[in-house]
Structure 1
Amino acid sequence: MKSLLVTIITLICLTVHGQALPNKFDIHTWKPPYTLRIPDKWTTERFPIPIDFAPQISYKGIEDLRFAPGWAKQSSPDYWSYAFLWWLEGRPQINAASLQKDLTAYYSGLVGRNIVDRHIMVRKETPTNVSIRKLPKSASGDDMYEGTITMLDYMAQKPITLNCVIHVTSCRKYDRTGVLFELSPKPTEHANWQKLHSVQSSFVCSK
């Protein structure tokens, strides 16, 4: 009876933690349990969380990015338009204040990394300023937020303000939280946002 109980407990633990990320894994070959659309001609990247340029963000998980085709082209209407998912372990407390703090750390770190890598003069730095506010829940029950991120555009070497929309989804099956960020310097009425929304709406916690 005792051995049977141990076996049952072991199976339960394997079921609950079966999607836990190993300590060492290949970020490029890792197979996500969720679905997240890649629009035609868009590119992707993945990074582990904690993020190396923003270690003060204390979550654990994966960052999964979707870049519009003209993301890095200053002449393109897609410039700086992209989306990314934070696939986080557990149920961290996420609200407007925590998002504002985390995004300030994220973009300060991202800009700082590129100032060094691109040998940008310090006098061109722009303080990173993030403002986030809560919106009513989505039709599917997601917590929603919107806001702005003002920072140094390290590609154009001048200030830029990104508009952002954020969806927070509880993925109970895997004991995960999905935080989907949509970002663009274009106003939310611009056609860019149709593709960004299509990425967000494609997110499903399990395939």
Structure 2
Amino acid sequence: MINPKTIPFFIIVTLLFIGGCKKEESSINYLSAPDNWRKETIEFPLSFAPSINYKGTEYVRFAPGWGKEGAEDYFSYAFLWYLDEKPTLSTTVLESQLEDYFIGLMQGMVKSEPDATKKVTETKAFFEKIDNASYAGKVITYDAFTTKKEVALNIIATYIECNSIDKHLVIFRISPKEIDHLIWNKLNEIQITQDCEK
């Protein structure tokens, strides 16, 4: 396992896209992205991570090259937790939740792979607080979908209180590429289509 306890993020860059909701007509998925970004919707409790004990929905948008080894946008995607209650977010909570999330996500894929279960359970998450609403982190896990190798994912998580509908939103933008890579321009353009203004 690689062990980057320090997270090489460009914090100033992250502050450029921290923020809120974009007023749009909502549709099946509350994340706006180009049409070729695949959509997925999952209800809480998540079947693969039931320890993340929220009520609500997860909305996901996958970059076109998400499952393509060597693609510039490999494993790059965003997901939104659209929650009924305010989550208790902290570096410790996010580390625990994202470890459970990725362990559960990958374990369902590795049952027939020798030694892969051990690699999945070695998943580690590290987060730092940027401000009162945002966190920068890294998850080191096993890509059971595509490469069958370890992958280090950079993650920006931002909390938004959506007073207009009494919901609580957490958007996660994820890529193994560093924050200064062009894929982050596309990830940062993904917006929430729910109007959260009072």
Name the CA shift for 1:91/1:157 in 2 (closer, same or farther; >3 Å): same
Q: Which runs of 5+ in 1 are unaligned?
A: 1-29, 138-142
**Residue 166 (str. 1) matches residue 161 (str. 2):** no
Question: How far does residue 66 in structure 1 lie from its aligned partner after superposition?
Answer: 0.5
**Residue 85 (str. 1) matches residue 80 (str. 2):** yes
What is the match of residue 23 of structure 1? none
Q: 1:179 aligns with which of 140, 148, 170?
A: 170
Q: Deviations over 1:36-64 (max 9, x none)?
A: 21224111100001100111110111000
> In structure 2, what is the Cα distance between the partners aligned to 1:178 and 1:170?
6
Name the CA shift for 1:198/1:115 in 2 (closer, same or farther; >3 Å): same
Question: How far does residue 161 in structure 1 lie from its aligned partner after superposition?
Answer: 0.3
Q: Which runs of 5+ in 2 are unaligned?
A: 1-25
Runs of 4+ in 1 over 3 A off after TM superposition: none
Question: How far does residue 175 in structure 1 lie from its aligned partner after superposition?
Answer: 1.6
Name the CA shift for 1:35/1:123 in 2 (closer, same or farther; >3 Å): closer
SS at match of 2:195: coil
What is the match of residue 203 of structure 1? 192
**Residue 131 (str. 1) matches residue 126 (str. 2):** yes
SS at match of 2:46: coil
Higher RCO by CA contacts (8 Å cutoff, separation 6 or greater)? 2
What is the match of residue 156 of structure 1? 147
Query: Greater helix percent: which structure?
Result: 1
> In structure 2, what is the Cα distance between the partners aligned to 1:130 and 1:87?
22
Question: How far does residue 123 in structure 1 lie from its aligned partner after superposition?
Answer: 4.8
> In structure 2, what is the Cα distance between the partners aligned to 1:51 and 1:135?
27
> In structure 2, what is the Cα distance between the partners aligned to 1:68 and 1:185?
12
What is the match of residue 94 of structure 2? 99
> In structure 2, what is the Cα distance between the partners aligned to 1:31 and 1:196?
19
> In structure 1, what is the Cα distance between the partners aligned to 2:118 and 2:182?
30
Letter in 2 for 1:91: K
**What TM-score, normalized to structure 1?**
0.76
Residues 82, 184 of structure 1: 8 Å contact kept: yes
Residues 124, 157 of structure 1: 8 Å contact kept: no
What is the match of residue 11 of structure 1? none
> In structure 2, what is the Cα distance between the partners aligned to 1:95 and 1:39?
31
**Residue 109 (str. 1) matches residue 100 (str. 2):** no
Q: 1:145 aligns with which of 135, 141, 144?
A: 135
Residues 39, 195 of structure 1: 8 Å contact kept: no
Letter in 2 for 1:151: T
Question: How far does residue 204 in structure 1 lie from its aligned partner after superposition?
Answer: 4.4
Residues 170, 176 of structure 1: 8 Å contact kept: yes
SS at match of 1:180: strand
> In structure 1, what is the Cα distance between the partners aligned to 2:95 and 2:116?
25
> In structure 1, what is the Cα distance between the partners aligned to 2:116 and 2:63?
30
Question: How far does residue 205 in structure 1 lie from its aligned partner after superposition?
Answer: 3.2
What is the match of residue 66 of structure 1? 61
RMSD: 1.9
